[in-house]
Each structure stands twice: as structure tokens, then as C-alpha cells.
Amino acid sequence: MRRALAIRLQATGDVVITHPYLASLRQGHADIRVDLLTREECADVPRAVDLFHRVYALGGGRNYKLQLLATLALLPRLLLERYEIVLDLQDSEISRFVRRALRPSVSCGFDRHAPLPAGERTRLAIESAGLGPLRLDPRVTLKNPSLGENLLRAAGWQPDAALVVLNPAGLDATRNWPLPRYVEFARAWERAFPRRTQFLILGLDSMRPRADYLRAELGERSIDLVGRTRPSEAFAILKKASLVLSEDSGLMHMAWVSGVPTLALFGSSRGDQSRPLGEHTLCLHSGDLECGFCMEPTCRFGDVHCLTRYDAAFVAEKALSLVAKNGCALKS
């Protein structure tokens, strides 16, 4: 059995993006055992999925010196494993140091700057080590498929209802679709979708004011789990969704990696580098505009027109088409 160490240190969404490609690697090479090196803050989902033999987690947060000390402390254990394959999917000083120290017979680096989605860059990196061809396989399974279900039921989930996840989690104003449009989207969805729907507001506690607004507007049709789930629980809950409507966030990446129909609203984000992949996804990004992919926290025009140009009816139509294409019949 050949031993492979994959390295992806941050952030949670980026770590999860590696999973379908590493799963494809394992499926194509039964003689390879895959371990993962990540940061402690990003280790919850990797430890919960049925993919890695062992997950190593570095402490030290985002502090380089503390990360380096944690790496030096871990290095003797890594050397004992005698890894033949090291897949550096981070390309940082820490990951390059580990790769050199382990002296594997097969290794690869990661192109952080190419204008390609992170998933594609991950695939190309692994294939460059002679381990391909790989395919996007968004069927990463959990060790405990019912993880998080108790939280969902306690919050009012009805299993016979369709579940639509709303994630207005964009970091800056230029990545935020107007909140009233999420409400209008929910109404348009309900008019067209054949099943009763519950709208799950899911994400980090930093979303609290936005979640409170949506909860007040959507009332009993909504479920609020903002700030109440571990990443692994959120990952498991996403697998129950009929659709995820999300701004650029780690949760968006967890959604498309789960194989759930995912509609991403990107605004100023780099859609060429961060968009979701697969036929089960759609990304409405700003790449068609002269000011597109600006990455600015404040719109130079003052209207965030890269996002506000999409009204709720248009987004609902795209979402319903995406779900229908992925096997759910709609009303005639």
C-alpha cells in the first residue's frame, strides 16, 4: 500500500474543495492510502468524511511562527510514515517545507494564481504527479450520515418538505445580494416548486443580523441554524437540501462538493478562480463586466450593479431550471 499525504492548510472551503479529487484518486488507485495535513480550524469536515486514513491538524492559527513550530513538532511523525507521495495543494512556505523534508518519490505543487477555478487547479496539480486522470466526484460520504440531523429536527425541519438553503454570507458589500431579494426569491420559488418548502438559513454567526431579517420576513417557513453547527454538521445538513442559494463563502464550496444543486451569487469575487464546478452548479458572476472581478470591498459606482442587476424572478428561474436538470420535476 502506497502512502500519500495531501496538504491543504486553509481555509475550510478550500480544504473541502480537495475532497472530490482526492476521492477520485483513491477510487482510481486502490493501492494508495491518503492522509491529510491541514490546520486545526479546518480539520472538522475532513475528520468526518470517509476519505482519509489519518488527518493531521496544525495549531498556531494564522500565525506563521506558531504554525512553523507546530510543523516542526509534527515532522518526526510524518517522517516515520515514509510517504511516497506528497500532494502540496497549498503552495505556502509551510507546505513547501514539509514536501522538501519528506523527500517523496512523487510530489506535486499547486498553482495559486492561474485564472482557473480552485477545483480545476487541484485536479491539474494531482494529475501533474502522474496520478490522473481524475474526475470531479461530488459524492464524498460521511462516516455518520445522520450528523446534524438532530439539530435540524429540533429547529423545526419536516422531512417531507423540500429544503432550500439561503446563505447571504458574502464578506463585503460588493458580494451581497440585497436581502429583500432573498425574500422575493422564496416567494417565487414557492409559486413554482411542487413541494412545500422550508428555507434554511445556515452559516457562521457573523450572519446573525441577516439571518434575523430573513427569519422575520419568512416566518414559520424558515429554519435558523446560523452559528449553531460545526462545519461537519453543516456539511451533512447540506446533503439534505434541494438547492443551495449562496454568496461566495465556505458553505457554498461545501454545497457543490456535496453534489447539491448550488446557485452561487458572486458579485466582486473572482469567479474565474473560485466558482463552483459541475453540471449541478451555476455561478452568476461579474466576469462579463468591464469592472468585473474587482475584489473591492466598496463598489466604485455605488450601486453594486454586478449583483443588483439580478432580480429575484431571474434568480428563481435559474434555480428552478438547475434543480429540474438535476432530477426534480416542477409544476407545469
Domain architecture of the chain: domains with CATH: 2-131 (3.40.50.2000), 149-325 (3.40.50.2000)
Taking Cα atoms as reference points, which of 201, 279, 278 lies closest to residue 246? Answer: 201
Give how far Cα 95 sits from Cα of 11, 17, 85, Å: 14, 17, 14
**Mean pLDDT on 22-32:** 94
Q: What is the DSSP annotation of 162-180? A: EEEEEE---SSGGG---HH
How many angstroms separate the CA atoms of 317 and 110, rounded? Answer: 37
Residue with cell 492548510: 9
Fill in the DSSP letter of residue 134: -
Environment class of residue 80 by beta-carbon count within 10 Å: exposed (0-12), middle (13-18) or buried (19+)?
exposed
Q: What mean pLDDT is predicted for residues 234-254?
A: 96
> What is the structure's pLDDT at 331?
40
- Per-residue pLDDT band at 76 (split at 50, 70, 90): very high
pLDDT in tens, 302-321: 999 999 999 999 999 999 99
Kindly tell me if the per-residue pLDDT of 121 is higher than 50: yes
DSSP label of 127: I
Query: In a 3-state reduction of DSSP, which class is residue 227?
Result: coil
In a 10 Å sphere around its CB, with 0-12 CB exposed, 13-18 middle and 19+ buried, how is residue 191 labelled? exposed
pLDDT in tens, 269-297: 999 999 999 999 999 999 999 999 999 99
Q: What is the overall mean pLDDT for the chain?
A: 95
Rounded mean pLDDT, 66-93: 97
Three cell numbers at 132?
490522473
State the Cα torsion 251-43-271-203 to the nearest 10°: 20
* pTM reported for the whole predicted model: 0.94
Which pLDDT band holds residue 332 (cuts at 50, 70, 90)?
very low
pLDDT confidence of residue 211: 97
